[in-house]
A and B are shown apart, each in its own frame.
Chain A
Amino acid sequence: MKVLVAVKRVVDYNVKVRVKADNSGVDLANVKMSMNPFCEIAVEEAVRLKEKGVASEIVVVSIGPTATQEQLRTALALGADRAILVEAADELNSLAVAKALKAVVDKEQPQLVILGKQAIDSDNNQTGQMLAALTGFAQGTFASKVEVAGDKVNVTREIDGGLQTVALSLPAIVTTDLRLNEPRYASLPNIMKAKKKPLETITPDALGVSIASTNKTLKVEAPAARSAGIKVKSVAELVEKLKNEAKVI
């Protein structure tokens, strides 16, 4: 079966971002960008499904600026067969991304779509669920285990109290949680080979997708800083401070 994986170009997870002085957003100029960590897990899962003989083709898709080609090449080096870039200059909201992905799903007809559970920049945790709504597919969010069995996929999900397993009819949408797998690294020969794999570029207009949003960001601020704390010398002093100064125990 064909598997579609959506990946996002985001600021690297180790970068401590700074808010711009004019409060229009965070400063991303000259900041290291990478594939969103949850998307790496999504690519890895698709590659493992292919290695098990479950998946026949892996198509990786991203929506973003021209530079997003880097992240698509990374996915190709990890084992995806071909890539699609929906080129959009502006940062799109989750619903617009879900609509663009729906158009790609209609065109490609995958049996399984794998996304990360959330992007570490917007922290929205929406796109997979929205894509499931638009396509009418079942959704297996926050997956820590995925097993394809015939025309169904069993997904074990990380929920607040523990784990839950659901059986979904294919085609279905799965979003990855951290514990689904440990993503591999791209080897140098595979990085070289990935340069020759096909990468198609299209525009949201060509897909007939509106990128209008009902949300508008008015401003972005730095969070309130915590006042500096103190170092205590002993456990006894710590207990004394907690009891008498902070009064929390």
Chain B
Amino acid sequence: MTILVVAEHENGAVAPATLNTVAAAAKIGGDIHVLVAGQNVGGVAESAAKIAGVAKVLVADNAAYAHALPENVAPLVVELAKGYSHVLAPATTNGKNILPRVAALLDVDQISEIISVESADTFKRPIYAGNAIATVQSSAAVKVITVRTTGFDAVAAEGGSAAVETVAAAHDAGKSAFVGEELAKSDRPELTAAKIVVSGGRGMGNGDNFKHLYALADKLGAAVGASRAAVDAGFVPNDMQVGQTGKIVAPQLYIAVGISGAIQHLAGMKDSKVIVAINKDEEAPIFQVADYGLVADLFEAVPELEKLV
């Protein structure tokens, strides 16, 4: 068995999600090859070669692969996939965008967002917003899988010494073009990789009040998240949303402030190790999953918490 992992990378570096995906591949067993597709990705390939457990790195460096347009990247993965038993990608927006296109071109069903590996062909994944866990078996010749990164501990980014091989294949479908992007700037840790996450909901009242959470987060070295209600109300940008349709997080500590705890929000954070809820409504559903609940006005509790930690 040989497994192909489609690497996620940004700003010339391997993204942490790739390390979790390699960990899932290691659980399946077999040789692990990593594909780095993009433009000017020599540096990414070098860092991918150092990932523990990786046997080979394939580099496809071509202008057509810049910005990970699925119309161009999917045919590349399909061309390479034929020699592999599994093709894995992290369940990031890129992975979710590209891999189903790969699966359909290979005429196989995909398994999305696995949280555990039972055997080389059997996997567990959450359905119904995490309210049920399905065990799914694949009979496909090439198993196409996206990996929920919070389900697997990252492998070491250093210690490996994989061979780097260049892939000449150039696919340019000519059907799509990158126009531009608007990336949110943040000095805080990335939401999906942070050890501590502080999240605010509708109870924050307005976007300005998030400053209390930022102050607390900076003291804790935490990332700041939000519920859909806070995003829809325009308090914060949507890339901060935690939940079924936003980001899935599983930090050591999740502090939910002014969040009621709807099913869709819980789907994104209930695998956190310790959950703290601060809410003035003692009937809020969030208290049913919280390890520590504090019924209090957040505008008093959060500044006090910031002082005490």
**Cβ of A235: which chain B residues have Cβ within 8 Å of it?**
294, 296, 301, 304-305, 308
Asked if A248 and B253 sit within 8 Å, CB to CB, the answer is yes
Asked if A95 and B112 sit within 8 Å, CB to CB, the answer is no
Contact of A71 with B by CB under 8 A: no
Asked if A220 and B276 sit within 8 Å, CB to CB, the answer is no
Q: Mark B119-161, 1 if CB is under 8 A from A, else 0.
A: 0001000111111111111111000000000000000000000
Q: A168: nearest residue on chain B (CB-CB)?
A: B176
A117 to chain B, nearest CB (A): 8
CA distance A84 to B293 in the complex (A): 50
Asked if B104 and A218 sit within 8 Å, CB to CB, the answer is no
**Cβ of B180: which chain A residues have Cβ within 8 Å of it?**
164-165
- Cβ-neighbour of B133 out of A125, A131, A132, A223 (below 8 A): A223
**Cβ of B104: which chain A residues have Cβ within 8 Å of it?**
95, 98, 129-131, 133-134
Contact of B38 with A by CB under 8 A: no
**Cβ of B131: which chain A residues have Cβ within 8 Å of it?**
16-17, 19, 26, 222-223
The residue in B94, B176, B301 that gathers the most chain A C-beta atoms within 10 A of its C-beta is: B176
**Cβ of B134: which chain A residues have Cβ within 8 Å of it?**
217, 219-220
Contact of B12 with A by CB under 8 A: no
**Cβ of B74: which chain A residues have Cβ within 8 Å of it?**
133
CA distance A119 to B294 in the complex (A): 35
Asked if A242 and B276 sit within 8 Å, CB to CB, the answer is yes
Tell me whether chain A's interface is mostly helix, strand or loop, or mixed: mixed
Contact of A32 with B by CB under 8 A: no
CA distance A133 to B108 in the complex (A): 12
CA distance A193 to B137 in the complex (A): 45
Contact of B292 with A by CB under 8 A: yes
Contact of A192 with B by CB under 8 A: no
CA distance A109 to B241 in the complex (A): 36
CA distance A94 to B253 in the complex (A): 35
- Cβ-neighbour of B196 out of A126, A229, A248 (below 8 A): A248
Asked if B253 and A218 sit within 8 Å, CB to CB, the answer is no
Tell me whether chain B's interface is mostly helix, strand or loop, or mixed: mixed
CA distance A197 to B289 in the complex (A): 47
Contact of A33 with B by CB under 8 A: no
CA distance A94 to B103 in the complex (A): 10
Contact of B10 with A by CB under 8 A: yes
- Cβ-neighbour of B270 out of A138, A161, A221, A226 (below 8 A): A226
Asked if B135 and A246 sit within 8 Å, CB to CB, the answer is no
Asked if A165 and B181 sit within 8 Å, CB to CB, the answer is yes
Q: A152: nearest residue on chain B (CB-CB)?
A: B177
A130-B292 contact, Cβ under 8 Å, with A166-B176, A167-B179, A249-B309: no
Contact of B69 with A by CB under 8 A: yes
Contact of A108 with B by CB under 8 A: no
Q: B267: nearest residue on chain A (CB-CB)?
A: A123
**Cβ of B301: which chain A residues have Cβ within 8 Å of it?**
235
B119 to chain A, nearest CB (A): 11
CA distance A88 to B67 in the complex (A): 38
A166 to chain B, nearest CB (A): 5
A169-B93 contact, Cβ under 8 Å, with A11-B128, A229-B291: no
Q: Mark B60-75, 1 if CB is under 8 A from A, else 0.
A: 0000000101110010
Asked if B181 and A163 sit within 8 Å, CB to CB, the answer is yes
Question: Interface-forming stretch among A45-53, A60-68, A75-83, A208-216?
Answer: A208-216
- Cβ-neighbour of A162 out of B137, B181, B252 (below 8 A): B181
A200 to chain B, nearest CB (A): 25
Contact of A93 with B by CB under 8 A: yes
- Can you add 10 more A-B contacts, CB < 8 Å, to A125-B112, A160-B92? A159-B94, A164-B67, A166-B69, A222-B131, A223-B133, A229-B275, A232-B292, A235-B304, A235-B305, A239-B305
Residues on B lying within 8 angstroms of A by beta carbon are 10, 67, 69-71, 74, 92-94, 96-105, 107-113, 122, 126-140, 173-184, 192, 196, 220, 228, 231-232, 237-239, 244-245, 247, 252-253, 263-264, 270, 273-276, 282, 287, 289-296, 301, 304-305, 308-309
20 A–B contacts, CB within 8 A, in A order: A95-B104, A95-B110, A122-B127, A129-B96, A129-B101, A130-B103, A130-B104, A133-B101, A133-B102, A138-B175, A139-B70, A158-B93, A165-B181, A166-B177, A218-B137, A226-B270, A229-B290, A230-B291, A235-B308, A236-B308
